Amino acid sequence: MVLKAFFPTCCASADSGLLVGRWVPEQSSAVVLAVVHFPFIPIQVKELLAQVQQASRVGVAVLGTWCHRRQESEESLGHFLEGLSAIFSHEPWLQLCRERGSKFWSCKATHRQVPASPGAPGQDQVMLIFYDQRKVLLSQLHPPAALPDHQAGDATASAGGLAAVFDTVARSEVLFRSDQFDEGPVRLSHWQSEGVEASILVELAKQASGPICLLLACLLSLISAASTSRKANMLVSVFLDVALGLALLSWLHGKDRIGQLADALVPVADHVAEELQHLLQWLMGAPAGLKMNRALDQVLGRFFLYHIHLWISYIHLMSPFIERILWHLGLSACLGLTVALSILSDIIALLTFHIYCFYVYGARLYCMKICGLSSLWRLFRGKKWNVLRQRVDSCSYDLDQLFIGTLLFTILVFLLPTTALYYLVFTLLRLLVVTVQGLIHLLVDLVNSLPLYSLGLRLCRPYRLAAGVKFRVLEHEAGRPLRLLMQINPLPYSRVVHTYRLPSCGCHPKHSWGSLCRKLFFGELIYPWRQRGDKQD
C-alpha cells in the first residue's frame, strides 16, 4: 500500500528536526503533528511524548526525521539524522527532505524488520499530503446521513482514514501547548508557531475577551444540558427575536399608531359583520341558482343573523377600551417578535369567534344529517349496523318500521342541499381563518428554529463545519513523491439548516390530507392544533 504522510503546511518552512505524530497502520498513513528542533535530549523527548500520550490517549511517537537544507554543505546533518533512527526506533522510519529553493521534496520510508525481497521493495512509495493544521483542529466533520438501521457503535468502527486524521489532530491539543519560542526542554514547531497578530489592539481585545467568554459560558451553562452549538443557536435566536420585537415596539408606539389601529379596528369588525349579513341574505335567497328548502333556509338564516347582531353589540360595547388594551398588548412586543406574533394570532382567533361558532353549528347539523342518512340508507336496503361486531349485518324489519324509515330518509335527502350549502360556506370561512393563523405560526416557528449561529459560522468560518475533504494535486516532477493539498470541503447550507435546526415547539397538524378530506366530508369537527395524545372528542 502506498504510504501517506500527512504533513502540516506550517512546518514546511521549519528547521530540521524530528517528526512527531501518529502512525495509523490500517490506512498505512503517518499523521505528522509537530517537528522537534535541535538541540534536544532524547530522554526528555520521550518523556514529553509519554505525557502527551497519557493526557490525550493518542499514540504519539517519533515517526522520522525532517531535513531542511538551507546551505549547500550540510551532509553531516544528513548522517546525524540517519543515526537518530537507532535511538527512536519506529517502524517504518520516515525521512523527509527539502532542498532550499526547491519545491519538490524527497521522501523515503524504510522498514528495518522486513527483509528486502525482490517482490516487495524495501522503500515504499510515499505520498505527501499537506494539511492546514489550525483548520483541521477547529473543524468538525459531519459524515453523510447514516442508514436508518445503523448502530451508533458501528459508525465509529467503520470511520474512514480521514476521520482518524481529524480525530488525531483534535485530540492532541496537549502537544500544541508549548512551542519553539517558549522556554522548555523541548522546542516544537506546529501551527502555533505560524505567527501572532500584528496589531496590539487585536491582542488586547483577545486578552479582554477571555473573561467575557467565561461569563457567556456561565450563562450558557445555566441552560439545560445541550451541545454548545445548540446553546449558541438558541441564544442568537433569542437575541434576534428580542431585537426585532423592540424594533416593532418603537415603530408601534411612535406617531400614535396604536390610536390609528384602535380607530380602524371597530369599523373593520363592523364591515366584516356586514359582509357576513350580505352572505346570509344571499344564502336565504337562491344562491348560485340552487333552489333551497324555504322553511329550513329561513330558520337557519335568521338564527345566524341574530348571532351576528349579538356579536356586533359586544364589539360596540368594547370599543372605548380597545385603545387601552392595544397599548398594553403592544408593550409585550419587548419580549420578542414571536410573542407579538402569537398575540396577534390569538387576537385574530378572538375576533373571528363568531365564524368558529357558525362552523361548529353547521358542522354538527351536517354531521347529524349524514349519520341519519347513512343509517336510514342501511334500513332501506334491509341491513343494520351491528355495534357489537362493528360491521353491517342483515336485519328483517317490520312493515311499519320500513315505512317510517323510508319517509324519514326522503325528508333528510331533500333537506340535504340546504344544510350542505350552509356547512360548505362556513367551513370555507373557518378554513380561511385557520390558514391565516397557520401562516403566523409558521413565521414564529421559522424565527425560533432557524440556526442562525451555525449559518453565520458557515458564512464566516466555513472550515469549522466540514462535510468532507477535497484534494488538489500540486506541481509534480517525475521520480519525486506525489504532493497533494488537502482542503476542507464545507457543509452546504441546506445541510447546516437540517442538522442544526432547533426543535420547533409549535403544534403542527398531525393529520394527512386524506384524513382531512374524510373528516370534512363526514362533517366531523377539525381541531387544527390539537396534539395527538389529547382527549378525543
Partner 1 sequence: MEAEQSFSDICGGRLALQRRYYSPSCREFCVSCPRLSLRSLTAVTCTVWLAAYGLFTLCEKSMILSAAIFITLLGLLGYLHFVKIDQETLLIIDSLGIQMTSSYASGKESTTFIEMGKVKDLVINEAIYMQKVIYYLCILLKDPVEPHGISQVVPVFQSAKPRLDCLIEVYRSCQEILAHQKATSASP
Q: Does 518 bind partner 1 (CB under 8 A)?
A: no
Range in contact with partner 1 (rule: CB under 8 A) among 46-54, 359-367, 382-390, 462-470: 462-470
Closest CA to 258 of 247, 250, 246, 269: 250
The nearest distance, CB 480 to partner 1, in angstroms, is: 9
Buried b (16+ CB within 10 A) or exposed e, 262-300: beebbeebeebbeebbebbeebbeebeeeebbeebbeeb
Interactions with partner 1, residue window 75-94 (CB under 8 A): none
- Stretch 269-298: interaction string toward partner 1, x if CB under 8 A: ------------------------------
Range in contact with partner 1 (rule: CB under 8 A) among 132-140, 147-155, 222-230, 251-259: 147-155
Choosing from 161, 405, 417, 506, the residue that interacts with partner 1 (CB under 8 A) is 161
Range in contact with partner 1 (rule: CB under 8 A) among 1-9, 218-226, 287-295, 309-317: 1-9
Answer whether 419's CB lies under 8 Å from 365's CB.
yes
Q: Using the minimum distance from each CB to partner 1, give the nearer residue, 77 or 474.
A: 474
Range in contact with partner 1 (rule: CB under 8 A) among 150-158, 204-212, 416-424, 521-529: 150-158
Range in contact with partner 1 (rule: CB under 8 A) among 148-156, 272-280, 413-421, 429-437: 148-156
The nearest distance, CB 162 to partner 1, in angstroms, is: 6
Backbone angles phi and psi of 278, in degrees to 5: -60, -40
C-alpha span between 486 and 467 (Å, rounded): 13
Q: Which residues contact 133 (CB under 8 A, 6 or more apart)?
A: 8, 9, 10, 33, 169, 190, 191
Range in contact with partner 1 (rule: CB under 8 A) among 51-59, 100-108, 156-164, 379-387: 156-164
Number of continuous H segments (helices) and E segments (strands) in the chain: 16, 13
Choosing from 33, 162, 337, 365, the residue that interacts with partner 1 (CB under 8 A) is 162
In angstroms, the Cα distances linking 401 to 35, 247, 274, 382 are: 101, 71, 47, 11
What is the secondary structure of 214-244 as a DSSP string? HHHHHHHHHSPS--HHHHHHHHHHHHHHHHH
Interactions with partner 1, residue window 24-63 (CB under 8 A): 27-28
Q: Does 125 bind partner 1 (CB under 8 A)?
A: yes
The nearest distance, CB 9 to partner 1, in angstroms, is: 18
337-351 helix and 322-331 helix, angle to the nearest 10 degrees = 150
Q: Using the minimum distance from each CB to partner 1, give the nearer residue, 9 or 28.
A: 28
C-alpha span between 323 and 307 (Å, rounded): 25
Choosing from 149, 398, 400, 537, the residue that interacts with partner 1 (CB under 8 A) is 149
Choosing from 158, 221, 228, 250, the residue that interacts with partner 1 (CB under 8 A) is 158
What is the secondary structure of 64-106 as a DSSP string? EEEEEE-SS--HHHHHHHHHHHHHS--SSEEEEEEETT-S-EE
Q: Does 156 bind partner 1 (CB under 8 A)?
A: no
> Site size for partner 1, by CB under 8 A?
25
C-alpha span between 409 and 386 (Å, rounded): 20
In angstroms, the Cα distances linking 259 to 47, 322, 333, 348, 402 are: 78, 9, 17, 19, 66
Choosing from 181, 321, 353, 471, the residue that interacts with partner 1 (CB under 8 A) is 471
Q: Using the minimum distance from each CB to partner 1, give the nearer residue, 59 or 492.
A: 492
Q: Does 329 bind partner 1 (CB under 8 A)?
A: no
Choosing from 75, 79, 113, 147, the residue that interacts with partner 1 (CB under 8 A) is 147
Q: Using the minimum distance from each CB to partner 1, give the nearer residue, 405 or 468.
A: 468
C-alpha span between 96 and 20 (Å, rounded): 12
Q: Does 493 bind partner 1 (CB under 8 A)?
A: no
C-alpha span between 334 and 248 (Å, rounded): 8
Q: Does 489 bind partner 1 (CB under 8 A)?
A: yes
Cis before residue 121, ω within 30 degrees of 0? Answer: no
Q: What single letter denotes the amino acid at residue 183?
A: E
Range in contact with partner 1 (rule: CB under 8 A) among 46-54, 265-273, 353-361, 481-489: 481-489
Answer whether 295's CB lies under 8 Å from 360's CB.
no
Helix, strand or coil for residue 122?
coil
Choosing from 317, 350, 473, 505, the residue that interacts with partner 1 (CB under 8 A) is 473
∠ CA 77-82-85, rounded to 5°: 135
Q: Which residues are at the interface with partner 1 (CB under 8 A)?
A: 1-2, 4, 27-28, 125, 127, 129, 147, 149-150, 154, 158, 160-162, 468-471, 473, 476, 482, 484, 489
